[in-house]
Chains A and B, each alone.
Chain A
Amino acid sequence: MNQKPVMFNKGFSISKVAIYAILLFWSATVVLPMVWATMSAFKSDQEIFFSPWGTPAKLLWENFSRAWVKAQLGQYMFNTFVVILPAIFLTLLMSAMVAYVLARYTFRGKSFIFYLFLSGMMFPMFLALVPLYFVTDYLGLRNTYVGLILVYVAFSLPFTIFFMVGFFKTLPKELSEAAIIDGANHYQTFFSVMLPLAKPGLISAAIFNFLGQWNQFILPTVLMTNEGLPEGQSRYLISQGLYFLQAKQGYESDLSGMFAAVVIVTIPALLIYILFQDRIEAGLTVGAVKG
């Protein structure tokens, strides 16, 4: 990477003032709503309506517990992690396996397999939804964690494979050859030599898959319903749950609880982002550039 010359010289100019004004304005559009949401999360509904700008008269921590328990945010979070943690693990494992074979072996039908996976990236997910609903229903996987995990993995495969093929191709051939000369079989070579070497690529892939699956909205909307569940239980994932709560505001308003929900869901993202900023930015955009 090159270090850029500093084009912005020292000193004062009108255009520089304008640039900083624009930058400050744009950051205000990010920071102020977050500050406002956090303050509102501690207020009563009355205060939100009648003094939207003031600081909360009293810190109402119960807004958070109400959002977590009564609005079932805790349940939605739990459901989400039960689905996406195994889904990410399986996505990485399966993609690495396929990508390794595609990057390092020659066999009949290899380019067919490659283009088969590649083609999955060209279609909009909306095209698959109706048959997907009936396939999962037929297999008894609709409204189950396992079903959603498998569907998430299947839809994450093309992009992750594509990304990992590129990654495996950059690894030196000598290493796997050396392992084979040492008497390792194909499996040992993959699991104890190549997979550890692919760690940086796998971390990037984990990051973009985490964000993608955490954000996923249409798949759980179609495949995870509360059909047949007793009152008070929910299969919803976080994005679905928040949408459900948002839609409910129309007839059963709990604004402060909703603000608290926004804060609860944002804080982990904020912390993770601040801690791993460079990794996340690189992981997301590297994945994108390859796509």
Chain B
Amino acid sequence: MKQGKNAFIFSFLIGPVLLYLVFVIGPYLSSMVFSFTRWKGLSANIRFNGVNNFIKLWDDENFWNALSHNAIAVVLLPLVTISIALVFAFWFTQGVRGSRFFRVAFFFPQVMSVVIIAVLWSFIYNPQFGVLNGIIKFLGIKSLESFPWLGDSSTIYWCILVVVVWQSIGFYMVLFIAGMMGIPNEYYEAAKLDGASLPVIFFQVTIPLLWETVRTGLVFIAIAAMDLYAMVMVITSGRIAATSRAADVLSTYIYETAFENGDFSYGIAMAVVMMFIILGLSYFTLTSTRKEVLEY
């Protein structure tokens, strides 16, 4: 069945490749070019602008403000989410009773849409009828009883990060559970014979044997920490400027610059920076966590 092989291959590739070139690769590549232009508004008046967009970025306070918020997420989210997820996964693979119920509950936010989660939590944080202040009232903390969690620039971003952790735990937990199920019994039995306690087993058996999966998780969440668009937009109801930009992240600032202010080339330049940060982060995470792989 040699004849027709090339025609077959061509017919299977042509559609997907064209679609992909037009809507994905084309836009990506042209963005890299447009980041060196000046392109404002819907006019077709695009001029070469050298590295001026990037120079402008350097002096743009809002850009650094947004980036600093991403930086907080990039440091905190992996640490907090991955640690909690690892501990939960460990407990559930070590025979905690009711683990099936807990697993379903913890993973559920993952199947809810991010927008729904953001709407729900904006209600939870609501100073007038929200659950959070209801609990605070119940505990009798008078000074915080009607504190506007999302209306105060010192708390808004932290409140958002809490939701991100809450939402993403389930995914990493299930990822680690799958990994832990693959660790052969003998390691645990040997450790048990040596009289190792649960924490010792966790740090000296489970974590080293699971390291490759943990690295994957770290890269994922670091990349996710560079996005956060839907969560921030919805939980703030799009009123980012109104909260003194206390929750602005790179993605929301890019959207505002390009699509609300019509400064396309400047928004694109920011996205190029974002791309380099993501590539750098992935590279850094993978190289800095490289260890001798334990085969089993």
Contacts and interface: CB of A to CB of B under 8 A. Distances in A.
Contact of B239 (A105, A153, A250): A250
A52 B130 CA distance: 8
B1 A186 contact: yes
Which of B96, B101, B113, B268 gathers most chain A CB within 10 Å? Answer: B113
B284 interface: no
A13 B131 CA distance: 32
A132 B275 contact: no
B185 A4 contact: yes
Interface string B11-39: 01101110110111111101100100000
B270 to A, nearest CB: 8
Interface stretch (A59-67, A198-206, A279-287): A279-287
A101 B9 contact: yes
Contact of B175 (A33, A274, A288): A288
B116 A100 contact: no
A192 interface: no
A55 B16 CA distance: 53
A52 B28 contact: no
A4 B188 CA distance: 8
Interface in A75-129: 94-95, 97-98, 100-101, 105, 107, 113, 116-117, 119-120, 122-124, 126-129
B278 A124 contact: yes
Contact of B111 (A27, A36, A273): A273
Contacts of A37: 120, 123
A171 interface: no
Interface in A114-152: 116-117, 119-120, 122-124, 126-133, 135-136, 150-151
Contacts of B211: none
Interface residues of A, number: 102
A1 interface: yes
Nearest to A189: B1
Nearest to B251: A126
B159 to A, nearest CB: 14
B3 to A, nearest CB: 9
B28 to A, nearest CB: 5
Given A154-B22, A187-B8, A2 B183 contact: yes
A30 interface: yes
Top 9 A-B pairs, shortest CB-CB distance: A131-B27, A154-B23, A6-B95, A128-B27, A186-B8, A7-B94, A217-B230, A52-B129, A127-B271
Interface in B19-63: 19-20, 22-28, 30-31, 34
Contacts of B72: none
B261 to A, nearest CB: 12
B35 to A, nearest CB: 9
Nearest to B122: A246
Q: For the complex, would chain B's binding face be called helix, strand, loop or mixed by DSSP majority? A: helix
A250 B239 CA distance: 10
B6 A107 contact: yes
Contact of A250 (B27, B237, B271, B282): B237
A94 B16 contact: yes
A226 interface: no
Given A98-B12, A130-B31, A154-B22, A124 B271 contact: yes
B94 A215 contact: no
Contact of A124 (B20, B220, B227): B227
B114 A217 contact: yes
B258 interface: yes
Interface in A1-17: 1-8, 15
B279 A127 contact: no
Contacts of A101: 9, 12-13
Interface in A238-291: 238-239, 242-243, 246-247, 249-250, 255, 258-259, 261-262, 265-266, 269-270, 272-274, 277, 280-282, 284-286, 288-289, 291
B112 A266 contact: yes
A233 interface: no
Nearest to B175: A285
B116 A265 contact: yes
A135 B111 contact: no
B213 interface: yes
B75 interface: no
Contacts of A128: 24, 27-28, 31
B113 A265 contact: yes
Given A7-B198, A123-B275, A215 B114 contact: yes
Nearest to B213: A289
